[in-house]
Every structure is written in C-alpha cells, then in structure tokens.
Chain A
Amino acid sequence: MAKWGMVFDLKRCIGCNACAVACKQENSLPYGVFFTKTLSEEVGEFPTTTRVYIPTLCNHCEDAPCQRVCPTGATYTRPDGIVMVDGDKCIGCGSCIVACPYDQRTRLEPQMLERGLFGNGKLTPFELHGYARFTPGTAVKCTFCHERVDAGLQPACVATCPTNARIFGDLDDPGSTVRRLIQERRGRQPMPERNTNPRVFYID
C-alpha cells in the first residue's frame, strides 16, 4: 500500500496561486475557504531582500493531532496515509481546528454555502452541484484530492502547477521522485518540533 506524500520545491514556486484556484475548482470550495494556499514572506534587510513563496496544505500527519482530539472519530487516516473527515460523523465542535498546528482546517458555516460566489445569495449551477458534497457545520480540509488519487490521477494542485513546484508520490517507494528529492535535497517537514510527522516536505 502506497503512503502518499507531497514535496514542495521552494526554488520552483513562483507564488502564482494557480494551485489554490485549481483546488477551489476541483473541490467546489465556497467563498473564503481554501484547502491550499501559497503564502508569501519577505526576508532579509534592504538592499538584500527577497520574497519567498511557501505553499501550504493539510500535512496529512502520521500522528495527526486533529485525529487524536476528535471526540466522534470523524477524523480518520486511510491506509494510504490520507487524513480524512467523515462529514456524517463530524459534530462541528472545532477541537480539530484548534489542535492543528498548521491551521489547515475550516468549519464550513452554513452561511458560507448560502452566500454564493458572487455574494448575492444566488448559487450558480456549479455551486449547486458542488456544494452537495458538503455537510454544513462540519470541519473540512484538504484530502489530497482522494477521488483523483484513487483514480490514478495527481491532486488538482499538483496537476495544475505550471513550474512543477509540487511533487506528489509514494513516500514508501524508495524509487519514487518524492523519496529521491527528500533524500537528495534534504527535505524538511514543517514544524518538526510538534512531533506530528507530516507527510509534506519542503526542499530549497
């Protein structure tokens, strides 16, 4: 069984946020909800300043704090390592949101699904179709586009990235690109001090 993970190549990321747009489109995310973002950060002091772009999403942690604190078992990890939320079990208590060190979860408030992407309270056919997958009041997060992965495709953000800054693959396969990149370029996990063992790595 594969253990899916992702590598972000910070040298390649240009901060276009095409990943965020592709994710919103793939997952029919309402206004204000993002499963992935590319953050920007200015570093250095004038005149030697630069701006770095840092893609972020759910890290699908091996020891996921969100799963540990969930009182209903709605958050679970699939055998392939993808951390999921069962919308039928979630009670919307928000304990997973406050437990996630990476701030990668959102509670889907009912008004988010009623507002409409144009803000006039009218839902487009795209929204009407896409919002049916959500349960209002529950927690949502990135699922590595599990339907696409199950069908043998790459997550939408990976498929759309114009610079190949996002690399998706099997962390357990010694021959996979993600494993090779992590080993050769010393991939680093976000906030390793939290002991969550994320399945997302950064290389630069």
Chain B
Amino acid sequence: MLSNRLQIVDDFRVGFRAQKAWGGSMATAFFFGEAGAGLFFISQFFGFVQGMAVALLMVLIGKGGGHLMHLGRPSRGWRALARIGSSWISRGLFAIAMFAVFGGLHILDVSGKVLPEGLSMLVRAVAVAACLVIMVYQGFAMSHSSSISLWSTGLMPITSLTYSLLAGTMLMLVLGYDSVLAEQPDALRMLKLAAAGLLLYGFVVILAMLHAAKYGSEGGQESVELLLKRDFAKWFVSLVILVGFVLTGLLAAFGPTSYGVMLTMAAAELTGYYAFRVLVFKAATYDPAVSFAAHFRR
C-alpha cells in the first residue's frame, strides 16, 4: 500500500516514465508470432510439413493466446480488423487470419495434394506473404510509437525479421534433424552456416538499435542505460548478448553438427530472443513530456 502511494507521489514529478501498457503477454505473443512465422518460412524451402504445422500452431496458439491474454476486451478482438489503412495492429491481425486459412490449406495441400496446380500455387503464395507480414509487422507496430525512442527506429522491423529468420532456422535445425535434414547433410551444414551469419547480422542490428536510441533522445538514453548499466543489465547482457548471441554464435560457427549441439544452440538462441522481447518492453521509456528546466536556466 505504501509503495503504491509513493509511486503516485512520484508520478507527480517531471521525469522519465516507464511504458507499462505492453508487458509479458505481448512479449510472449511477439515471440511465438515471429518464431512461428520464421519456422514456416524456412520449412517452405524443404517442404517440411511437420515444421509448417508446428509453425501454424505456434502462431495460432502462442501468438493468438498471448494477444487474447493481453487485450482488455478480448471478446471484441475481431474489431481490430477495422483500420488496415493506418494501424499495424490491424494489418497484423489481417495477416494472422490469412495465415491461419491459407497456411492451413497449404499444409493440407503439401501433405495430400488436394488442390489443383494453379490454386495450389496461389494458396502457397498467400500463405508465404501472410507469413512474411507476421515476421515484420510487430517491428513496424513498435517503431510507429514515436513516443518511445528505443522502439521508434527503422531498425525495429529489421530486428523482427532477423530474429524471426534466426528462430526459424534454429527450430528447423532441431525439428528437421532426424527427418529432412538427415537426408540432406549439405542442407544441415548450410543452415548452420546461415545461422552463424544471421547471428552476426542480428548482433550488429541490436547494437545499431541501441546506438540509435542512445543518441535519439533523453528517453532513449535512459532506456539504453537501463539495458546495459542499470536495472536490466544483468539480464540483457547475460541472456540476450552472451547466451543469445555469443554462445549460440560459437556453437553455430565452431560446434559439431550433432543433435545435442543443435538443441543447445536453439535453446540458447530462443532464450536470448525471448529475453530481448521482454526487456525491450520493460526498458521502454517515455521522454519527459514537458520540461522547462532549460528555459528557466537562462
């Protein structure tokens, strides 16, 4: 009770304010959405039906469930389709709906050839297009929030795409190890190499994102300090950087191609990725809305 009261008193001072509207359930939804869409996309190249099915479930149950848990009025969630012209949330929901229908049809088609050739191509194209939107729209939705410098960068959709492809590759390495990849050892090595490249690229994107935030505004600087030096530093540095990039990168670049290594690599990358999703929400800071300190200093 006392801490609640102190919080309210503190709210009456000019200063940085933490974003509290999006939390754990949104982070979970974003994680499953991007990882699932990434897996579906990678599975396309190998015609890996089990991977596509797991991906569809991840998006529908993991992402859908996370969003429903987050919404204040979940029964009205369908209304979010109303503003596709201006809202990335609307566009994302539309893509999820298309992905559910056409992704499901595509899986049935790949499993049993139930559609004629032309229609099959069309279903596949729509499913992959919807999948691509799911891979990036969350980054656009976040970067659209100009109030939070940590998010308000064009690098956010690229971060989403990179993490999505990375998670998809890792899951593919684990799920396809004994099936499609066992038949194509070259593909296994190629995917492992691709993972190493994506990790390097992703690491640079994260650094660039932090750099943009730090020099973007005072709120961005506060967010970066929270992530690298203060409250969330132990989690961000250990999980996102060391486990998610360094350990995973070392295993991808120098580890053997055994199942144990693939499993460890995927677990480390997904741990780092989930931690990133949660911490980027937690460290999001609004700039002080109004401050006349500089004016009064004159």
Contacts and interface: CB of A to CB of B under 8 A. Distances in A.
Contacts of B296: 43-44, 50, 52
B104 to A, nearest CB: 24
A107 interface: yes
B113 interface: no
B145 A69 contact: yes
A116 interface: no
B286 A103 contact: yes
A89 B19 contact: no
B14 A202 contact: no
B73 A90 contact: yes
B4 to A, nearest CB: 7
Interface stretch (A34-42, A122-130, A150-158): A34-42
A159 interface: no
Interface stretch (B77-85, B234-242, B243-251, B268-276): B77-85
Nearest to A41: B14
Contacts of B19: 97-98
A77 interface: no
A52 to B, nearest CB: 6
Interface string A135-159: 1111100000000000000000000
B93 interface: yes
A17 interface: yes
B122 to A, nearest CB: 27
A188 B216 CA distance: 22
Contacts of B89: 69, 71, 93, 95
Interface string B7-24: 010011110010101100
Contacts of A68: 86-87, 144
B209 interface: no
Nearest to A95: B89
Given A43-B296, A99-B147, A71 B80 contact: yes
A102 B89 CA distance: 21
A169 interface: no
Of B80, B86, B144, B290, which is in contact with the most chain A CB atoms at under 10 Å from its CB? B290
Nearest to B23: A94
A72 B22 CA distance: 18
B73 A137 contact: yes
A37 B12 contact: yes
A194 interface: yes
A69 B290 contact: no
B292 A91 contact: no
A50 B12 CA distance: 17
B146 interface: yes
Contacts of A97: 19, 21
A93 B70 contact: yes
Interface string A69-92: 111110000000000000001111
Nearest to A92: B72
Interface string B208-230: 00000000000000000000000
B150 to A, nearest CB: 11
Contacts of B73: 90-92, 135, 137-138
5 contacts: A69-B89, A98-B19, A98-B284, A103-B286, A104-B289
Q: Which 4 A-B pairs have CB atoms at the shortest separation, nearest pair first?
A: A92-B72, A137-B72, A94-B21, A101-B147
Interface of A: 10, 17, 32, 34, 37-41, 43-44, 50, 52, 54, 56, 65, 68-73, 89-95, 97-104, 107-109, 119, 135-139, 190-191, 194, 202, 204
